[in-house]
Amino acid sequence: MNVAEIASKAKQSSYVLAALPGDVKDRALSAMACALRVHADEILEANKVDLSQAERAVLAGEMKPALYERLKLTREKLETVIKGVEDLISLPDPVGKIMAATELDENLTLYKISCPIGLIGVIFEARPDVAPQIAALCVKSGNAAVLKGGRETLHTNTAMLRVLKNALASVPGYPAEALQLIHTREESAQMLALDNLFDLIIPRGGNALIAYVKANTKIPVLGHADGVCHIYVARSADVQMAQNICVDAKTQYPAACNTMETLLIDEAWPEENKRKLLASLTAAGVELYGDERVRALAAVAGPVTDWHTEYGEKKLSVKFVPNVLAAIEHINTYGSHHTDAIITAEHDEAQIFMDLTDSAGVYHNASTRFADGYRYGFGAEVGISTGKTHARGPVGLAGLTIYKYKLYGNGQTVAEYVGPEAKPFTHKKIGGQK
C-alpha cells in the first residue's frame, strides 16, 4: 500500500476509536504491555543491529556520539516503557468528559465534550522508545496514528510495531489498522501532503526536522524545535542545593531535550560558592564555556559563540548576570521556551521568575530533567510542545484530545429567539460553574 492508502485505512479506524469503550482501550494497552515483555529479546536484538550500524557511522564521523546514545534501548529502558504503558490503564479515560455545560433555555442544553483529535502523524528521530509511548497514548486517547521513525532505528521500530500491531489485532473490537508505520523520507513527504486525512502532525527531533515539517505541510503541527534550557542560581541560593540540581540537570542524561544547556549565576553570589558549583560540574565531566570572569573561577574550553546552543552532551554555557530580571531577559531572548529553573531561597523572587519567564515549564529549586510526561504522571508523552496551541509542555493524554459541542434540544428553532417577540436565553451554567 502507498501512504495515502495506509492513511485512509487509519482514518477510517479513527472513527471507530472515537466511540470505543474505555475498557476495550485498556485491554488493548494490557495486550501491548504483555507483548512487549514477551518479545523483549526480539526487540533488543533488532536494536543491536541499529547500534552496530550507528557505531560505524560514529567512527566515520557521520553521526554524533550524543545521537548514538539516544539510539540505545536497554532492557531497563524497555521495562520503563512497558511500565508507562501499564500506568496508562489506571488513568481515567480522557474521552467523553464534560468540560462545560450550559442551559441555553429550558430543555435546550449545550455540552462541551472531550473527544479524540482523529488521525495523528508522528515523525521522530533516533529514539526507539518513542514508538511504543506514542502508540500507547494514542490507544488510550482514542486516536489513530501513522508513525515515521528515523532510519537510524529502522530495525528497532519495525520489530516494535510488528509486536504492537499483533497485540492490538488480538483485542476484540479494536481496529488494528489504527496503528501504522512508514519508513522513508519519501513516504514522510507524502504524509505531510495529506491534509485531507491527517488532523495533526507531531515532529520529535532537531531544528532541521521541525523546520522541514512546518514548511512542507498544511496540517497543524505540534512540537518543539529545540531544548535550550537554563538554570538561574540566585544570590540567596544554597550552594549544596545548586550543586546537586545543576549536576543532575546537566549530566543525568545529557542528550535529553530537558537538559540544562546554559547556567546563569547571580553576580552577587559569593565567589567561593561560584567556584564550588563550577568545580562540581567539571568534576562530573562537564566542559564549560564562558568569558574571562568564568575563566577566573574554573577551566573553560572557550567563549560562548551562540547563547542559543543545544549541546546535547556534557558541555555547558556559563554566564554571570546582575539579577533575576536580567536572567529572565536572557532566557526569554535566547531560550527555546522549553523548561527553565531558578534556585533561590526567596519565595517572591521565585514567583517573579516563574511568572515572567515565557517557557512551557518553569521550576523553583528543581532540576529541569523533571520535564517529562511520565514524571508528570501522564503515563508517557508524545513530546514536549513549546508553542501556544491547545497543548503546551509534555503532551500526554489531555494534549491528544480536543472537544466538540453537543446541543440537546426539544424542537427549538432559532426563529424563536430573534425579533421583537424573541425568547430570552437563560445561559445558566450547569454543575456549579461560574
Is 424 contained in some domain?
Answer: no
Q: What amino acid is encoded at 66 in this protein?
A: A
- Spatial neighbors of 208 by CB under 8 A, at least 6 apart, are none
**Cβ 297 vs Cβ 277: under 8 Å:** no
Give the C-alpha distances (Å, rounded to integers) separating 11 from 162, 178, 194, 220: 20, 7, 11, 16
Let me know whether 307 and 365 are in one domain: yes
Last residue of a domain, one of 370, 400, 428: 370
Let me know whether 260 and 184 are in one domain: no
HSE (CB half, 13 Å, CA atoms) of 23? Answer: 1
Let me know whether 166 and 241 are in one domain: no
Only one residue has cell 562540581, namely 280
Number of Cβ atoms within 10 Å of the Cβ of 306: 8
- C-alpha cell read off for 31: 495486550
Which DSSP category does 425 fall into? Answer: P
d(CA 434, CA 430): 9
Lay out the sheet containing 108-116: strands in order across.
401-408, 108-116, 98-105, 428-429
Alpha helices in 298-405 (DSSP H): 324-334, 347-356
- C-alpha cell read off for 410: 426539544
Give the domain range for residue 41: 3-95+118-225
Is 103 contained in some domain?
Answer: no
Is 399 contained in some domain?
Answer: no
Let me know whether 46 and 165 are in one domain: yes
Let me know whether 174 and 59 are in one domain: yes
Is 348 contained in some domain?
Answer: yes
Let me know whether 237 and 184 are in one domain: no
Return the percent helix, strand and coil in the chain, to nearest 5: 45, 20, 35
Q: Which long-range contacts (CB under 8 A, 24 or more apart) does 50-56 make?
A: 50/128, 50/152, 50/153, 50/154, 50/155, 50/156, 53/152, 54/152
- Spatial neighbors of 106 by CB under 8 A, at least 6 apart, are 426
Let me know whether 209 and 335 are in one domain: no
Task: State how many domains the chain has.
Answer: 2
Is 410 contained in some domain?
Answer: no
pLDDT of 64 reads 83
Is 108 contained in some domain?
Answer: no
Given the DSSP bridges, would you call strands 144-148 and 98-105 parallel, antiparallel or unpaired?
A: unpaired
**Cβ 87 vs Cβ 33: under 8 Å:** no
CATH value at residue 49: 3.40.605.10
Last residue of a domain, one of 186, 206, 225: 225
Give the sign of the dihedral formed by CA 281, CA 353, CA 222, CA 307: negative
Per-residue pLDDT of the chain (434 residues; tens, 9 = 90+): 799 999 999 999 999 999 999 999 999 999 999 999 999 999 999 999 999 999 999 899 988 887 888 899 999 999 989 998 998 999 999 999 999 999 999 999 999 999 999 999 999 887 888 899 899 999 999 999 999 998 899 999 999 999 999 999 999 999 989 999 999 999 999 999 999 999 999 998 777 788 899 899 999 998 776 789 999 999 999 999 999 999 999 999 998 889 999 999 999 999 999 999 999 999 999 999 999 999 999 999 999 999 999 998 999 999 999 999 999 999 999 999 999 999 999 999 999 999 999 999 999 999 999 999 888 888 677 878 888 778 888 888 889 999 999 999 999 999 999 999 999 999 999 985 54
Let me know whether 205 and 276 are in one domain: no
Is 271 contained in some domain?
Answer: yes
d(CA 322, CA 423): 63
Is 405 contained in some domain?
Answer: no
- Spatial neighbors of 233 by CB under 8 A, at least 6 apart, are 242, 246, 263, 264, 265, 266, 269, 277, 343
Let me know whether 218 and 241 are in one domain: no
Of 28, 137, 46, the C-alpha closest to 378 is: 137
CATH value at residue 290: 3.40.309.10
Last residue of a domain, one of 370, 401, 421: 370
d(CA 300, CA 317): 10
Let me know whether 219 and 234 are in one domain: no
Let me know whether 185 and 258 are in one domain: no
∠ CA 20-204-52, nearest 5°, is 110
Let me know whether 217 and 234 are in one domain: no
pLDDT of 65 reads 85
